[in-house]
Amino acid sequence: MRQIFWRRFDWMLLALALLLSMFGVLMVASALAGNEVLASWPWRQAAFLGIGILLLFLTSIIDYRLLPSVTYPIYFILLGMLVVIAVIGTVAGGAQRWLTLGELFLQPSELIKLGVILMLAHYLAAREEKMESFLTPLFGLLLFAPAVVLIYLQPNLGTALVLIAIGATMFFVGGLRWRHLVVLAGLGIAAAIAAWQYVLQDYMRNRVMMFLNPTTASVADRYNVEQAMISIGSGGWLGRGLFRGSQSQLHFLRIRHTDFIFSVTAEELGFIGAVLLILLLAFLLLRLLRIASIARDTYGRLIVVGVTAMILFQMVVNIGMNLSLMPVTGLPLPFISYGGSALWTMLIGIGLAESVAMRYRKIEFE
Amino acid sequence: MKPAISRSEARLLLLRGVIAVVVTVLIGRLWQLQMVEGASYLIRSDRNRFREVDVAAPRGVIYDRNGKILARNRPSFTIAVVPGDLPKTREGEPDPAKDAAVLDRLLDLLARPAPKLRPSPTPTLTPTATKGSANTQTTVSKPVSATMQIPNRQAWYMPRAEIEQAIKDGRLGGAYRAIPIAKYIDEGTAFTVAEDAVNLPGVDLQLDPIRDYPSGSLTSHLIGYMGHIPAGALDKYKAKGYAQNEQVGLTALESTFEHELRGKPGRQTIEVDVNGRRMRTVGQPDPAVPGHNLVLTLDLDLQRAATTALQEALDKSSGFTKATQGVAIAMDPRNGKILAMVSLPSFDNNLFAKGVTTEAWEALTSNPDHPMFNQAVGGQYPPGSIFKPIVASAALQEGVINSQTLLGDGFDGANDGIIWLPNRYLPGDRTKDQKFVSWNAKQGFGWGKINVKKALAVSDDIFFYQLGGGYLDIFRGLGISALDYYTSQFGLGATTGIELQGEGAGLVPDEKWKRLNYAEPWLTGDTYNASIGQGFVLATPLQMTNATAAIANRGTLYKPQLVDHITDAEGKTVKPFQSNIIRELPVDAGTLDVVREGMYGAVNWPEGTAPNVRLPGIAIAGKTGTAEYYRDWDKDGQPDKDPKENLPTHAWFTAFAPYQDPEIAVTVFVANGGEGSSVAAPVAAKILRAYFGIDTAPPAPVTPITPTTTAAPTPTAKPAE
């Protein structure tokens, strides 16, 4: 039975995740080459990856069907933490995202993504039969909204948008009716207008305007995006060579190891390398959706859909920003950008998907 | 159950469709950027990293004749902050906390005592790396005199509050413009800051070459100084390939030899990082050609001796009022080489190397003694009695007299140092006669009838009045036209062509000139005055030195020159010295020998006017001069006079030595100095002493009979008593 258990493990998914993560370590090394202060960071990223693989296996071993019992407590504890952070942050000012948790464990803003995925999957799966009622999605929305608001207030617009993307996708796949979708969309627009008029303060409006209209972006943002386009454009077919991109190595490109790591890839490895990266991510996403399709229950399927939505949205926003298709937000590229918390979130997400995959056919177990 | 599954299956399919669309859009955009527009982005990335930069050509060094450095280059270190390069927050916003950290660290480094570096004898600017050999550092063959070290310039620091304000202002526009916050910091501190660059993002160390003049005010009038291109001359310099902010020689040799000293800046392509820091050079550089070096004819030791001697004379002067201005020139009469040229007061040309402050400039330009003005070439003064050798040469050559002709006091029966010139319109009325006196009239005696040699030796004015203007029916003089001719031949009335700006031509007055300027006819009295170097005659100290040199060398007037030869950076001579003869004088050597003997007498004969110039073992010939001049400081419309009714006088002395085979000609001028014999002559003696290396104390002073030329600048008729 042990043997059968591991045979259900999606080794292809793991391979794709590891390939992307190791590729990320390499690109971080290239992005930080020549920086003596940050010389150790590629090694740290490799260490994060090692820990992340452990987390991935640990998560996959836990039977996801045991999670519903702890889902709400975990979710509300996370919300409580976000409130505490918001209050203390207001008092102390700045540095809300990390707070006392420091680098020891996940940032709350990363953890809340997984919390929302589990919570919504549980809520929607349990009410699959009651989706005809408008109250079901409405209550779901009320459960979900505090997380978005608290993250937005941090302020962390990027993660708030990721949460919205996750929620929208899960509601959609979870069986939201089209008529409810229309009503909710209408309500959302009305609420947005009301908030714009009465709730949001000027600086908040500016931030939203900046998102909607990139020409009002800050000078630094515009410089970064322009240098990203020069980096990508000068890559050509095969690129300037790893560790040889002039834009990256001479630091014309900024925030290279996180926000603009895709530009480093496109410059140094060219069209071929960049397309390969996009395709690897796409295969990983499709592989996740395969698991969603064969999942034994709605709960498992929605978990995997949530993870898929998280990766897809961050990928689109990050690469879109690099290619000047999207406004500048500080979202990292999944698996590739430097950062332990972000990588662990992704790998734990993959671990959740593996947990679902390993248990998809009842008969072989019982 | 089944419809729900199929609904979610359908929606998962839709999600797959979204992924496909996303991948297509992203790859399509990538294709557009990399394949379609790639070429233009490649150009832009090259524009980011490649810079064409000038490679500064080290400016030529200026040496004295013994290899002592008079002008050289040295690096000036400036610390600047570039607001745009200061550390930022993750969002790319300015971060005051990080700014403060960088400033704390930087100011702490600047405040530390500078580490001691091995002093380099010649801190010439190290040429920027050009991989080539053409830029070898200009080395000096001879050591710099120890006493010549000038202290380091005072460093300048911007106060912290101003720095913070400047950074704030800079961010509002031109964030990548460097703000200098410390200038002229010493080398050790500069290196400390450079080594800590990793911790000081946004902090730039700039290295500018500035000119350094070790001999400072000793040679300022000759070397000159540099500065920004004057607004009016910008186009002219730009046509020669100068950059707008380049420094050029503005005065004296720095200006005259700007072309030779500058060299040719090179160009090269370098790769820079985002902070403009040089990563590597690209391709073959067009190397800089260092400027040529000037080796002067000047002897710095003699220049210093002359300066000291002249300054002492000024300090203890008790003339009409205290003397503050003076000139000393030494020249080699065999070739025109200038050995020393001092004009006091002087200024420190190092003030200009780092950009002169407004206060210093005001102080220099408003000083009534005009320290920036080189009187040696630009000052025009009545030469007084040192003009007499020229008059004597002319008269002897024209045959007006021979060496034995006797003229002078006593034709009117009274050997008293006074003669009377009849009024031009009332020749019969003795009461309208004009009185002309010799300096010795005050002592109550005359020299009687003497020959030209003795007249020169004792500086008898009566003799020269008669020699130039004639006397009654008894003697027909040289006349103003012939005197003017010879005066011009001796170089007066025209610039000498020395390599300095602002030369004065002096004045050789003639009948036409007086009619144009005074609307009066030329009178015999005017010729009388001209014959003793008074009246309208004006000459520069350099012209008088040159005339003396021509007498010393028996008839050749050389162009005075300051630059001996020009060498390239390796020390190879590219332009050797060539003496430049203005003209051969139309005076026979034998004639000049008579004049020379008279000048010998002035120093060596018992009755000579300059016995105090005698040196052991060296025969010296000279001529004193005490020239009255018109001055009206109290603005009463009358010339200033002392209680004894004396006009103020300039002290002159000109000499050459050794008498037989002269190798040095000296002229000393002290404006408002009083007597030439007692004020100017001792200075010349000290210069000659230094030149011939005679260290013994001067002999017990022989008190000369002080000659005072007493002739009014403008003729005034005086009634007989």
pLDDT in tens, B654-686: 999 899 999 999 999 999 888 888 999 999 999
Q: Provide the Cα torsion B601, B603, B605, B607; round to 10°.
A: 100
- Is A107 part of the contact surface with chain B (CB cutoff 8 Å)? no
Residues of B in contact with A266 (CB under 8 A): 30, 33-34
Closest listed residue to residue B555, CA positions, set B401, B390, B671: B390
Q: Which chain B residue's Cα is nearest to A252?
A: B274
Range of the domain at B614: 300-346+375-568+588-692
- Is A273 part of the contact surface with chain B (CB cutoff 8 Å)? no
Among the ranges given (A35-44, B583-592, B694-703), the one the predictor scored with the smallest mean pLDDT: B694-703
Interface test with A, best of B30, B42, B46, B90 (most A CBs within 10 A): B30
Indicate if B183 and B290 belong to the same structural domain: yes
- At CB < 8 Å, which residues of chain B contact A? 4, 7-9, 11-12, 15-16, 18-19, 22-23, 25-27, 29-31, 33-35, 37-38, 40-42, 44-46, 48-49, 88, 90-93, 198, 271-275, 279
Residues of B in contact with A323 (CB under 8 A): 26, 29-30, 33
**B26 inside domain:** no
All structural domains of chain A with their residue ranges: 2-364
Quick: pLDDT tens for B580-597: 999 999 999 999 999 999
Q: 138-157 in A: which are within 8 Å (CB) of B?
A: none
Can you name the residues that pair with B715 across neighbouring β-strands?
Answer: none
Q: Looking at per-residue confidence, does B124 or B22 come out higher?
A: B22
Task: Tell me if A311 sits within 8 A of A288, measured CB to CB.
Answer: yes
- Is A255 part of the contact surface with chain B (CB cutoff 8 Å)? yes
Give the closest-approach CA distance of B195 to chain A in angstroms.
14
Q: Phi/psi of residue B352, each to 5°?
A: -85, -15
Residues of B in contact with A128 (CB under 8 A): 4
Give the closest-approach CA distance of B84 to chain A in angstroms.
10
d(CA B537, CA B509): 6
Task: Tell me if B287 sits within 8 A of B135, measured CB to CB.
Answer: yes
Among the ranges given (A45-54, B185-194, B364-373), the one the predictor scored with the smallest mean pLDDT: B185-194
Indicate if B454 and B517 belong to the same structural domain: yes
Residues of A in contact with B22 (CB under 8 A): 282, 312, 315-316
**B455 inside domain:** yes
Q: What does the pLDDT average to over A162-173?
A: 93
Burial group, residue B462, by CB count within 10 angstroms (0-12, 13-18, 19+): buried
pLDDT given at position B475: 86
**B708 inside domain:** no
Q: How confident is the model at residue B711 (pLDDT cuts 50, 70, 90)?
A: very low
Contact A251 B273 (CB under 8 A): yes
In this model, does residue B121 exceed pLDDT 50?
A: no
- Tell me the three state secondary structure of residue B337: strand
**B8 inside domain:** no
d(CA B228, CA B246): 6
Q: What does the pLDDT average to over B142-163?
A: 57
Interface test with A, best of B44, B198, B271 (most A CBs within 10 A): B44
Show Cβ contacts of residue B123 under 8 Å, excluding neighbours closer than 6 positions.
B72, B74, B75, B187, B212
Q: Looking at per-residue confidence, does A333 or A91 come out higher?
A: A333
pLDDT given at position B5: 53
Contact B4 A128 (CB under 8 A): yes
Indicate if B110 and B139 belong to the same structural domain: yes
**B542 inside domain:** yes
Task: Tell me if B503 sits within 8 A of B373, measured CB to CB.
Answer: no
Of B16, B26, B31, nearest to A289 by CB-CB distance is: B16
Task: Tell me if A335 sits within 8 A of A53, measured CB to CB.
Answer: no
Contact A319 B26 (CB under 8 A): yes
Of B12, B29, B31, nearest to A293 by CB-CB distance is: B12
Residue with tokens 């000052």: B379
Contact A173 B22 (CB under 8 A): no
Indicate if B116 and B184 belong to the same structural domain: yes
Q: What does the pLDDT average to over A99-109?
A: 56
Of B22, B37, B273, nearest to A250 by CB-CB distance is: B273
Q: What does the pLDDT average to over B256-264?
A: 91
Of A221, A246, A252, nearest to B92 by CB-CB distance is: A221
- Is A252 part of the contact surface with chain B (CB cutoff 8 Å)? yes
Indicate if B242 and B323 belong to the same structural domain: no
Q: Which CATH number characterizes residue B237's domain?
A: 3.90.1310.10
Q: Provide the Cα torsion B469, B472, B474, B477; round to 10°.
A: 10
Indicate if B562 and B476 belong to the same structural domain: yes
Contact B30 A232 (CB under 8 A): yes
Closest listed residue to residue B302, CA positions, set B356, B339, B263: B339
Sequence-ordered strand ranges (E) for B115-202: 156-157, 179-185
ipTM of the complex, rounded to two decimals: 0.92
Q: Which chain B residue's Cα is nearest to A127?
A: B4
Contact B42 A233 (CB under 8 A): yes
pLDDT given at position B185: 82
Indicate if B524 and B540 belong to the same structural domain: yes
- Is A316 part of the contact surface with chain B (CB cutoff 8 Å)? yes
SS (H, E, C) B194-212: HHCHHHCCCEEEEEEEEEE
Residues of B in contact with A274 (CB under 8 A): 30, 34
Residues of A in contact with B31 (CB under 8 A): 271
Q: How confident is the model at residue B642 (pLDDT cuts 50, 70, 90)?
A: confident
Indicate if B242 and B385 belong to the same structural domain: no
Give the closest-approach CA distance of B57 to chain A in angstroms.
28
Tokens of A180: 């409810």
Of A231, A271, A312, nearest to B30 by CB-CB distance is: A271
3-state helix, strand, coil in chain B (%, to 5): 35, 20, 45
In this model, does residue B240 exceed pLDDT 70?
A: yes
The whole-chain average pLDDT of chain A stands at: 85
In this model, does residue B697 exceed pLDDT 60?
A: no
In this model, does residue B492 exceed pLDDT 90?
A: yes
pLDDT given at position B540: 96
pLDDT given at position B304: 94
Indicate if B199 and B323 belong to the same structural domain: no
Indicate if B226 and B324 belong to the same structural domain: no
Q: How far is CA A262 from CA A231, A275, B31, B593, in A?
A: 10, 11, 15, 96
Contact B34 A252 (CB under 8 A): no
Quick: pLDDT tens for A219-254: 777 788 888 999 999 998 898 888 888 888 888 888
Query: Domains in chain B: how many in total?
Result: 2
**B218 inside domain:** yes
Indicate if B468 and B487 belong to the same structural domain: yes
Q: How far is CA B433 from CA A281, B415, B425, in A?
A: 122, 18, 10
**B511 inside domain:** yes
- Is A174 part of the contact surface with chain B (CB cutoff 8 Å)? yes
Give the closest-approach CA distance of B158 to chain A in angstroms.
28
Of A37, A246, A293, nearest to B9 by CB-CB distance is: A293
Q: Looking at per-residue confidence, does B269 or B546 come out higher?
A: B546
Among the ranges given (A98-102, B10-14, B275-279), the one the predictor scored with the smallest mean pLDDT: A98-102
pLDDT given at position B181: 85
**B410 inside domain:** yes
Q: How far is CA B249 from CA B59, B229, B352, B491, B534, in A?
A: 11, 9, 11, 29, 38
